[in-house]
């Protein structure tokens, strides 16, 4: 469904810097959860932005191919891009507080995508939004629908954010560190929710995180990035228990586990 | 471990005053409820809790940054120091690395220039950075390097007690691992005590002797880390442990 | 492979800074040289040379008294520059002191002082200066003092905002933990960090001061004759606009260059700080 081939990204305003993403290739199947892990500066967020179309064409040079649903996202027209990326790819960011418009009620924000990309009636939009809010297990969707972002907690906001990403029934959900800003107990709930959505809506999830434990819990396949390159890719079992590359080994050894430090 | 007490907190309550809008009354919110704790010299005491549990306020009350409290905070050591979470706001952006680390010595004011220089270079080497960093500015450094500088700044006055407020939480795991090793090494070299605040239970287990668990401004459980992990008593501790698995 | 080459022209090279620096240096050179030596006397009148157009001997022409405009513009720019620098200095120092104290300590004094600043800012500063000068009389040094005081609030506001933001950053907490006193924290730790916002404020303030001086002298309540100042010259030139357009053009040009140089310099410094 998604196939990235030889993607390279370089930023204009920093010419001496190396490519942020250096020749990476990977693919995703329908309904799959792929974890993209790496530390800061590894290029994982840049990759996600290239796929979700948030990269500004004037600031970056992208080369390579990103095939999504039979179209190359780097070559198709702006209109196609807007339709594909608005409707068929949903995005969830790290900071729930800043990814919602503080002066708009939750409901209209969740509906926004339908308003732009479909012709369905207002009532139907409302129903779809309420359904999405119910899908993300927010209690009393009607009440939440009328609330403002600051009236919700971080965990609830992240649920609302996910609702607005899945309301147009996308085929791919790009989640950029969606649990990083949340407390561990809330984090576990959001992961369960993402699993449920993946199962019930049959939406593929590209899950970007620096947290390997979280990726281990959620994903079936993992790709490890380091300094703009994809160093290792494989099933969760394979990468976590039989890492091949030195960097992956170091990364896994550094995960805080229950052991005593000298 | 010696038996002398280095820090004692008795019946501590702290309030957060909200100024309120034009129409709403001033309201106070209690952030810390009846906190009692006692730290031994050379001990690493963990503080676990989620956001809003009051663990950062506790640190700030202990260090006197927050003064709105009732109860007693008794220090048995001079100059306790703190290492903050965010390596990007904890270093003065206008100063060079050398100047940042030197600042505490300038404030105590009894060292000659040559002596200061010697101590700064030695301290930087102790945290794994060479003297070539002296003239760098914080913005040229990575998160891990900045955190090393923060640690150097806290330790150059040879405190006995250092409060680590999520000191490794903002760092990448491989860097986190290195910084934790550094902190453990410095603890042994300088005979320090740490109050180790973290939301990461595994990190607490790795480093601490004893830990308290905080929720909504209260201590819900306190025990050695082994007992805490193997036989959690409070429901909230169990919940945290489940989430961290 | 797709390669688009649409690099923004003004991005990599800081042209603002360079052009601004060149203009400012040229203007400063002119002012400094003009202070010691001008091609012709600035006060010597010559009836034969009334309204001579630009020529090799008199590059900017001569005025209604046959004085060399280039020489007078040089002197006038010096006067205007001196006034503007003094005004900005008073405003900046006063504003920094007030802004840092109120921003750092907060409380009732902060509220009261900031409301006073609001009240002052509510009136256009030139109007205020006009009123005060009408009441107490003009003159170069009075103007400096009055404009300087009127410029304090804008600087105080900028500095205060930065202090409020910085005082709750962790590096200030750690300075407090080391035992640094309030004044050390204010002036050694926070003040250097306000420079990125203070620099553009200074460049804007300088331009406003030049304009304020020019408009006040234009209304002939500023610098008194026979001293030359750019505003004064402009008001004289206005009368002869039809007869000797070069008088107004060259005087205006110097004002524009003086302001442009500093604006570009300020903008360039801001850009430099941003990266």
Q: How far is C4 from chain A (nearest CA, A)?
A: 7
pLDDT of residue A18: 67
Residue A210 to residue B184, Cβ atoms within 8 A: no
Does residue C259 lie in a domain region?
Answer: yes
pLDDT band at C5 (very low <50, low <70, confident <90, very high): very low
pLDDT of residue A95: 81
pLDDT tens, residue by residue, C122-140 = 887 778 778 888 887 767 8
Q: Which residue of chain C is at minimal alpha-carbon distance from B151?
A: C174
Residues of chain C contacting B, Cβ within 8 Å = 169-171, 173-180, 184, 189, 192-193, 195
Answer whether residue C58 shows pLDDT above 50. yes
Q: Which residue of chain B is at minimal alpha-carbon distance from A260?
A: B206
Which residues 12-71 of chain B have a CB within 8 Å of chain A?
A: 50-51
Question: Average pLDDT in the C187-201 region?
Answer: 89
Torsion-angle region of residue B52: left (phi > 0), alpha (psi -120 to 50) or beta? left
pLDDT band at A221 (very low <50, low <70, confident <90, very high): very high
Residue B206 to residue A260, Cβ atoms within 8 A: yes
pLDDT band at C2 (very low <50, low <70, confident <90, very high): very low
Helix B97-108 vs helix B143-155: angle between axes, to the nearest 10 degrees? 10
- Sign of the dihedral through C-alpha A74, A78, A79, A81: positive
Does residue C90 lie in a domain region?
Answer: yes
Nearest to C116 by CA among C152, C161, C164: C152
Residue B63 to residue C175, Cβ atoms within 8 A: no
Question: Average pLDDT in the A239-244 region?
Answer: 92
Residue C8 to residue A12, Cβ atoms within 8 A: yes
Q: Which residue of chain A is at minimal alpha-carbon distance from C13?
A: A13
The token duo for C217 is 């002298």
pLDDT tens, residue by residue, B175-230 = 999 999 999 999 999 999 999 999 988 999 999 999 999 999 999 999 999 999 99
pLDDT tens, residue by residue, A151-161 = 888 889 999 99
Query: For B86, which DSSP code?
Result: -
Does residue C270 lie in a domain region?
Answer: yes
pTM of the model: 0.82
pLDDT of residue B24: 60
Cβ atoms of C212 and C145 closer than 8 Å: no
Tell me what the pLDDT averaged over chain A comes to.
87
Buried (b) or exposed (e) across C189-220, using 16+ Cβ within 10 A? bbbebbebebbbbbbbbbbbbbbbbbbbbbee
Residue B51 to residue A253, Cβ atoms within 8 A: no
Cβ atoms of B191 and B221 closer than 8 Å: no
Answer whether residue A184 shows pLDDT above 90. no
3-state class (DSSP) for residue B99: helix
Residue A13 to residue C6, Cβ atoms within 8 A: no
Answer whether residue A9 shows pLDDT above 90. no
Q: For chain A, which chains pass the contact test of at least 3 CB pairs under 8 Å?
A: B, C
pLDDT tens, residue by residue, A91-109 = 898 887 888 888 889 999 9
Distance from C-alpha of B201 to C-alpha of B245, rounded to nearest angstrom: 9
Residue C192 to residue B108, Cβ atoms within 8 A: no
End-to-end CA distance of chain A: 48
Does residue C5 lie in a domain region?
Answer: no
Does residue C52 lie in a domain region?
Answer: no
Chosen for mutation from A7, A8, A12 (greatest number of chain C CBs closer than 10 Å) is A12
Distance from C-alpha of B33 to C-alpha of C272, rounded to nearest angstrom: 49
pLDDT band at A17 (very low <50, low <70, confident <90, very high): low
Say which residues have a Cβ less than 8 Å from residue C10's Cβ, sequence separation at least 6. C16
Selecting from B60, B82, B94 the residue whose C-beta is nearest the C-beta of C193 gives B94
pLDDT of residue B96: 94
For chain B, which residues score pLDDT lower than 50?
1-2
Distance from C-alpha of A4 to C-alpha of A16, rounded to nearest angstrom: 25
Residues of B in contact with A157 (CB under 8 A): none
Nearest to B176 by CA among A256, A225, A228, A182: A256
Whole-complex ipTM: 0.82
Residue C11 to residue A61, Cβ atoms within 8 A: no
Cβ atoms of A221 and A236 closer than 8 Å: yes
C-alpha distance from residue A91 to each of A49, A77, A113 (Å): 9, 20, 11
Q: How far is C98 from chain B (nearest CA, A)?
A: 22
Answer whether residue C4 shows pLDDT above 50. no
Question: Average pLDDT in the C187-210 region?
Answer: 89
Cβ atoms of B243 and A179 closer than 8 Å: no
- Sign of the dihedral through C-alpha B227, B230, B236, B240: positive
Percentage, residues of chain A above pLDDT 70: 96
Residue B184 to residue A261, Cβ atoms within 8 A: yes
Distance from C-alpha of A240 to C-alpha of B96, rounded to nearest angstrom: 41
Distance from C-alpha of C170 to C-alpha of B27, rounded to nearest angstrom: 26
Backbone φ, ψ for residue A247 (5° rounding): -65, -45
pLDDT of residue C7: 46
Residue A260 to residue B181, Cβ atoms within 8 A: no
- Which of B18-22, B36-40, C40-44, C58-62: highest mean pLDDT? B36-40
Which residues 214-243 of chain B have a CB within 8 Å of chain A?
A: 229, 239-240, 242-243
The token duo for A252 is 């896994």
Tell me what the pLDDT averaged over chain B comes to.
90
Residue B202 to residue A185, Cβ atoms within 8 A: no
Q: How far is A256 from chain B (nearest CA, A)?
A: 6
Query: For B65, which DSSP code?
Result: S
Residues of C in contact with B82 (CB under 8 A): 173-174, 177
Is B174 within 8 Å of chain A by CB? yes
For A2-261, which CATH class?
alpha beta
Say which residues have a Cβ less than 8 Å from residue A249's Cβ, sequence separation at least 6. A243
Answer whether residue C82 shows pLDDT above 60. yes
Q: Which CATH number characterizes residue C121's domain?
A: 1.10.3720.10
Question: Average pLDDT in the A78-93 region?
Answer: 83
Residue C4 to residue A61, Cβ atoms within 8 A: yes
Total residue count of chain A as it appears in this document: 262
| H or E element, residue C173 | helix C170-178
Does residue C246 lie in a domain region?
Answer: yes
Selecting from C170, C180, C189 the residue whose C-beta is nearest the C-beta of B84 gives C170
Answer whether residue C254 shows pLDDT above 50. yes
The token duo for B87 is 């390596």
Chosen for mutation from B100, B103, B153, B162 (greatest number of chain C CBs closer than 10 Å) is B103
Question: Average pLDDT in the A17-23 region?
Answer: 79
Question: Domain map of chain A by residue range?
Answer: 2-261
- What is the DSSP code string of A30-72? TT-EEEEE--TTSSHHHHHHHHHT-S-TTTEEEEEEEEETTEE
Residues of A in contact with B229 (CB under 8 A): 258
Residue keyed to tokens 């720019």? C77
Q: How far is A63 from chain C (nearest CA, A)?
A: 5
Does residue C158 lie in a domain region?
Answer: yes
pLDDT of residue B18: 67
Nearest to B63 by CA among C120, A93, C172: C172
Q: How many domains does chain C have?
A: 1
Who has greater pLDDT, C2 or A51? Answer: A51
Who has greater pLDDT, B141 or C216? Answer: B141
Buried (b) or exposed (e) across C79-100, using 16+ Cβ within 10 A? bbbbbbebbbbbbbebbbbbbb
The token duo for A251 is 């990364």
Distance from C-alpha of C193 to C-alpha of B126, rounded to nearest angstrom: 29
Who has greater pLDDT, C225 or B168? Answer: B168
Nearest to C209 by CA among C249, C154, C247, C165: C154
pLDDT band at C8 (very low <50, low <70, confident <90, very high): very low
Selecting from B51, B176, B201 the residue whose C-beta is nearest the C-beta of A254 gives B176
The token duo for C109 is 């004094």
pLDDT of residue B1: 45
Residue C174 to residue B84, Cβ atoms within 8 A: yes
Q: How far is C170 from chain A (nearest CA, A)?
A: 20
Q: How many helices (H) and strands (E) does chain C have?
A: 10, 0
Distance from C-alpha of C162 to C-alpha of C196, rounded to nearest angstrom: 10
Chosen for mutation from B80, B94, B137 (greatest number of chain C CBs closer than 10 Å) is B94
pLDDT band at C9 (very low <50, low <70, confident <90, very high): very low
Answer whether residue A42 shows pLDDT above 60. yes
Does residue C41 lie in a domain region?
Answer: no
Residues of A in contact with C7 (CB under 8 A): 12
Structural domain containing residue C127: 15-34+63-274
């Amino acid at each position: 469904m998604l196939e990235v081939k030889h993607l390279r990204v370089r930023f204009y305003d920093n010419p001496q810097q190396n490519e942020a993403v250096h020749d990476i290739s990977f693919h995703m199947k329908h309904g799959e959860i792929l974890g993209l892990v790496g530390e800061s500066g590894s290029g994982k967020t840049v990759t996600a932005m290239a796929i979700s179309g948030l990269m500004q064409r004037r600031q970056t040079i992208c080369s390579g191919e990103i095939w999504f649903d039979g179209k190359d996202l780097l070559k198709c027209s702006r209109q196609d891009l807007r339709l594909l990326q608005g409707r068929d790819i949903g995005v969830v960011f790290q900071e729930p507080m800043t990814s919602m418009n503080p002066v708009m009620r939750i409901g209209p924000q969740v509906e926004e995508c339908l308003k732009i990309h479909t012709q369905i009636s207002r009532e139907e939009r409302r129903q779809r939004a309420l359904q999405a809010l119910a899908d993300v297990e927010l209690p009393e969707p009607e009440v939440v629908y009328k609330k403002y972002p600051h009236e919700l907690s971080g965990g609830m906001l992240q649920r609302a954010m996910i609702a607005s990403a899945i309301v147009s029934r996308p085929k791919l959900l790009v989640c950029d560190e969606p649990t990083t800003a949340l407390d561990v107990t809330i984090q576990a709930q959001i992961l369960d929710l993402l699993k449920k959505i993946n199962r019930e809506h049959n939406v593929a999830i590209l899950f970007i995180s620096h947290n390997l434990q979280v990726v281990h819990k959620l994903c079936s396949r993992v790709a490890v990035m380091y300094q703009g390159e994809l160093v290792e890719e494989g099933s969760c079992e394979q990468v976590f228990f039989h890492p091949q590359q030195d960097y992956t080994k170091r990364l896994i050894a550094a995960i805080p586990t229950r052991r005593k430090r000298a | 471990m010696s038996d002398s007490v280095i820090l004692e907190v008795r019946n501590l309550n702290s309030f957060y005053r909200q100024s309120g809008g034009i129409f709403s009354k001033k309201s106070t919110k209690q952030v810390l409820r009846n906190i009692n704790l006692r730290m031994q010299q050379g001990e690493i005491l963990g503080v676990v809790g989620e956001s809003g549990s009051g663990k950062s306020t506790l640190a700030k009350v202990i260090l006197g940054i927050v003064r709105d409290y009732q109860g007693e905070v008794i220090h048995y050591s001079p100059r306790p120091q703190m290492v903050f979470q965010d390596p990007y706001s904890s270093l003065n952006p206008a100063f060079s690395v050398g100047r940042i680390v030197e600042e505490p010595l300038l404030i105590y004011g009894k060292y000659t220039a040559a002596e200061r220089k010697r101590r700064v270079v030695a301290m930087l080497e102790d945290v794994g950075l060479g003297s070539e960093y002296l003239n760098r500015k914080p913005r040229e450094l990575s998160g891990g390097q900045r955190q090393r500088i923060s640690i150097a700044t806290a330790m150059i006055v040879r405190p006995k007690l250092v409060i680590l407020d999520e000191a490794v939480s903002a760092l990448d795991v491989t860097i986190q691992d290195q910084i934790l090793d550094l902190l453990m090494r410095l603890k042994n070299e300088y005979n320090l005590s740490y109050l180790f605040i973290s939301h990461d239970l595994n990190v607490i287990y790795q480093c601490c002797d004893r830990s308290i668990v905080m929720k909504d401004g209260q201590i819900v459980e306190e025990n050695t880390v082994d007992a805490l992990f193997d036989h959690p008593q409070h429901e909230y501790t169990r919940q945290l442990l489940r989430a961290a698995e | 492979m797709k390669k688009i080459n649409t690099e923004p022209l003004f991005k990599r090279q800081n042209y603002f800074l360079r052009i601004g620096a060149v203009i400012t240096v040229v203007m400063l050179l002119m002012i400094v040289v003009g202070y010691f030596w001008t091609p012709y006397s600035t006060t010597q009148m010559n009836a034969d040379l009334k309204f001579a157009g630009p020529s090799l001997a008199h590059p900017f022409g001569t005025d209604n008294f046959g004085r060399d405009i280039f020489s007078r513009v040089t002197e006038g720019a010096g006067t205007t520059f001196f006034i503007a620098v003094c005004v900005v200095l008073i405003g900046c120092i006063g504003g920094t002191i007030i802004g840092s104290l109120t921003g750092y300590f907060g409380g009732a004094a902060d509220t009261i002082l900031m409301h006073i600043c609001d009240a002052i800012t509510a009136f256009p500063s030139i109007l205020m200066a006009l009123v005060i000068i009408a009441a107490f009389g003009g003159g170069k040094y009075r103007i400096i003092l009055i404009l300087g005081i009127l410029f304090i609030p804008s600087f105080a506001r900028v500095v205060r905002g930065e202090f409020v933001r910085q005082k709750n950053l962790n590096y200030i907490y750690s300075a407090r933990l080391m035992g640094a006193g309030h004044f050390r924290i204010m002036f050694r730790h926070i003040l250097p960090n306000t420079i990125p916002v203070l620099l553009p404020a200074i460049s804007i303030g300088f331009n406003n001061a030049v304009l304020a001086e020019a408009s006040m002298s234009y209304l002939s309540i500023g610098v008194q004759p026979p001293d030359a100042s750019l505003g004064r010259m402009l008001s004289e030139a206005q009368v002869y606009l039809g007869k000797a357009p070069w008088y107004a053009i060259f005087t205006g040009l110097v004002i524009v260059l003086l302001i442009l140089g500093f604006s570009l310099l300020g903008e360039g410094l801001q850009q430099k700080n941003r990266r």
